[in-house]
Every structure is written in structure tokens, then in C-alpha cells.
Amino acid sequence: MSLSSQPDPAKLAAARAAVALVEDGMKLGLGTGSTASVMVRELAARAAADGLKLRCAATSQATAELAESLGLNVEPLDQIGWLDLTIDGADEVDPDLHLIKGGGGAHLREKIVAAASDRMVVIADPGKVVDRLGAFPLPVEVLQFGFETTRTLIRRALQAQDLGGHDVMQRLKGSDPWVTDEGNVILDLHLEAIPDAVALARALSAIPGVVEHGLFLGMCDLAIIGKSDGTVVELDRDEGIDADLLAGEGD
């Protein structure tokens, strides 16, 4: 493996720390995204080395294909039942361990899998830790039917939240609409900062045509933040984020 293909040290450190939590016989949820893919590779290596018998539910077709190619046992979520642990990445993590997810377009399945787990562990690098959610565009998965009507209703909801005037952009893949594994499309809300994430989540969920949004509130139990020197900081939901522990780490 060339130096350029080596995983980012912070992501690798976080992934390894999360994989260390896995025990033989566990039923696991596997996240989606660049950090989650590092975790899947580390998980497969540990499972092979230690002879772990695991049952895994993937949050996207891409993750399923990667996990299966590495020898992990991937099954439909309903076939497995309730999960012991889900390990996933995040686009933003705030001091209460609220998250924005969906940069990879898989937040619908990610939220279902996380909700079906006893514990959700998020892995990230320090650049994902923020004082307030919203700098990362908030993904909202919507039906293709009535797309423009749904976008209008979202803009009205933002206006009611004092977030009017911000871009509500359809996500593209090249020149074509980004289509999710469930056949839906995504609107990215460029909000800069979200003053009340709970109220916004409630307003978005109430809109017909909105399938799911990328606000994960009260779902993450532990965030493992990898640092560039290979160490990690573990942030428990009840303890919050100690900014001093992440001092000197940037995007």
C-alpha cells in the first residue's frame, strides 16, 4: 500500500478504538462514509485475526459491498433483529453529542440502524467537533414526487425558524440528481448555524415529502475523536466535549 493510500492517522486511531469495543458474537451496525470505511477494514482485520463471529447490518449498499468483500457477514437488519452496537461517522458533533450526518447520502438507513441499537458510537477527527451544528450543510432526504412542493415547504419551515434566505440546494452527482439507495433525492440546507436543532428537527419531520433529515439528536452515546498523533479522546454524552483535550487539532 502506498503512502498516499494510507488512512488519515486521526480516522485510523478513532476506528481502532471503536473496533476494540467489539466482542465475539455481537450484532453490529456498520456506518457509511470515509471514516466508517476505515472502521470496516479494521473490523474485518480484527475479526479474521481473533476469529470473531459477528452479524453485521450495513447502512448503505456501498458499506455492504465493502464489508462482504473483506469477509464480514452482512445480513438484512430485520433478519438480525436488535443490534448491540452501531459504529458510524459524523459530519458534525456538538458538545451534547448531537450530530449532523448524511454527507454520504445514507442518513435514512443510518438513523434506522442507530435507532435499532443498544448503543451508538461515533468516530471522527477533531475537525468534525463544533460548538454549534450547522456549518456543514444539513441533508434532507425527500421524495421525488412533489419535489418542488416539498422544497417550498422546507423554505417556509426555515423562515419560521428564523433561518430564511439560506440556500436549499438539490444535491447532484455530476450533472444528475443524487439518488439514494431508497430511490429518493437530497436537499442540502446551507444554514451556517442552527440556533435550535430540536425545533428544526421537529419542523422538518412534520413536512409531507420529507423522508428523513440529517439531525441525529440524543442518539450518540459515545464519540471517539481520533487525533493526528494516533491518540483518541472519548466523549461521553453525559460529560460533553472538553475543548482543551482537542487543543491544537484542526480540520
- 13 HSE (CA, 13 A, CB side): 18
**How is residue 73 written as a grid cell?**
457477514
User: Residue 159 carries which side chain, given as an amino acid letter?
Assistant: Q
User: Residue 185 carries which side chain, given as an amino acid letter?
Assistant: V
Known binding residues for substrate? 32-35, 88-91, 101-104, 128
By the 8 A CB rule, do 28 and 56 touch? yes
Query: Can you say whether residue 37 is alpha, beta or left, with left for phi > 0 and alpha for psi between -120 and 50 degrees?
Result: alpha
Would you give the distance in Å from CA 227 to the centre of its chain? 19
**What is the C-alpha to C-alpha distance for residues 200 and 41, in angstroms, rounded to an integer?**
35
**What is the C-alpha to C-alpha distance for residues 249 and 9, in angstroms, rounded to an integer?**
12
Known binding residues? 32-35, 88-91, 101-104, 128
Please list the active-site residues: 110
